[in-house]
Chains A and B, each alone.
Chain A
Amino acid sequence: MLWLFGFFLFVIVFFEGTITTLPLTLQTLLVFYVLYKNSASIFLAFISGIILDLLSVRLLGTTSIYFVIFLFLVVLYERKFEINTIPFIILSSFFGSLGFLFLFGFQQSILQAVASSFFAVLLFKVFTVKKLDE
């Protein structure tokens, strides 16, 4: 299951760096951490950030810093509240996407953030069912 997630993340990173501006990698990392809550998600956040920087001709480390700080905020929130819920996924993915799109200068930020939230919820639902089957 973890390998499937890793492969899926790899494909998503290349899609995001090539044909779409939607922050799908961020959503995938969020769902991965919410479901598995392990250090592997932080390592994947770092690596996927580096690859995205290479694909998008940004300074290396820029996207990784954002992803790691985002996961740090999620971990902080987890100390007090439950994160394995749809409302949390919707709100964190929306604000995380909005920040990402605004920071890296993409257009139609709000619309893209809403679309990203839908993607995150869909991913959460699919991988929650798969995890229950395991």
Chain B
Amino acid sequence: MHRKKNLFQTLFVFLVVSVILFALSLFGFLKPVRGVFELLISPFQRTITKVSTRVSTSFQNDRLEKLEKEKRILAKQLVDWVNLQKENNALKDQFQTSLGISLNLLPAKVIGAPSFIPHVTSLETLILDKGQQDGVQEEMGVVFEGNAVGKITKTSQRLSIVMLVTNKEYWAPAKTVQTSALGVLKGKGNSEMVIDNVLLSEKLNTSDTIVTALGINTKGIGMPPDFIFGEITASEKKPSDLFQKAQVKSILDFTKLSTVFIVLGEK
């Protein structure tokens, strides 16, 4: 009986302390303290992620990895080539000009990649070692080798969480490279995406590349245009529907990312 009373008292004390901590954290009073603790624990996170990635990549084919990297480079070159062609045509027409944008990119190491079964099931988020003190804000885009990785959803003093483009809650305006069809790219989970809300009059070709559309807002936050989401694997077009859609597969393996780049804004 006495032991039970002690237990209830202890439970109550720790519950109250937890609630107080939560309230202080909510109003931002614990930011400096949090920063210090994050500095202390992030090396452990980094080590565990590195070891875990090394163990999983030791079972993988080097040749396959090389081919995947070449494919990503070629996909980016294709996008750049199509954009150059469009720029040339626009200049010839003398009706419009397109301005190249120079981006301010912050390299960030991936120190956490939590998933149901590590390196087996799909990833939904990444944890990066850059936070508010490095100028990172929510909604900033994250990219890697010309590919869109995701957007920042949470930040603390020294860490931030990236929602991947394949996450069920992710959506962003997108367009096709070949036909410039505009739509909305939505994550479906399980490393899959779909481009939806595309007008029936537009053409969606299988193997066409989907890239980010529109761009950074007036505050300098967002995903810049022409970063690759993935390739169309199958399209769905029913005359009775208002819009058509297509399945999109990313050409980036998120489980192998060790460094990504946060788009701080335009230079």
Contacts and interface: CB of A to CB of B under 8 A. Distances in A.
B18 A65 contact: yes
B234 interface: no
B52 to A, nearest CB: 5
Interface string B3-26: 110111011001101111111111
B41 A55 contact: yes
B72 interface: no
Secondary structure type dominating chain A contacts: helix
A60 B21 CA distance: 6
Contact of A54 (B22, B41, B116): B41
A83 interface: no
B197 interface: no
Interface residues of A, number: 41
Contacts of A85: none
A1 B121 CA distance: 34
Contacts of B203: none
A60 B14 contact: no
Interface string A19-54: 111100000000000000101001101100111001
Contacts of A61: 18-25
Interface string B206-223: 000000000000000000
Interface of B: 3-4, 6-8, 10-11, 14-15, 17-26, 30, 34, 37-38, 41, 44-45, 48-49, 52, 111-118, 121, 124, 127, 154-156, 159-161, 168, 189
Interface of A: 14-22, 37, 39, 42-43, 45-46, 49-51, 54-62, 64-65, 68-69, 71-72, 75, 79, 106-108, 111-112, 115
30 contacts: A16-B114, A17-B114, A18-B44, A18-B112, A18-B127, A19-B49, A22-B116, A37-B3, A37-B7, A39-B7, A42-B10, A42-B11, A45-B14, A46-B14, A46-B18, A54-B34, A54-B37, A56-B114, A56-B161, A57-B127, A60-B30, A61-B18, A61-B20, A61-B24, A65-B18, A65-B22, A69-B15, A75-B7, A111-B116, A115-B116
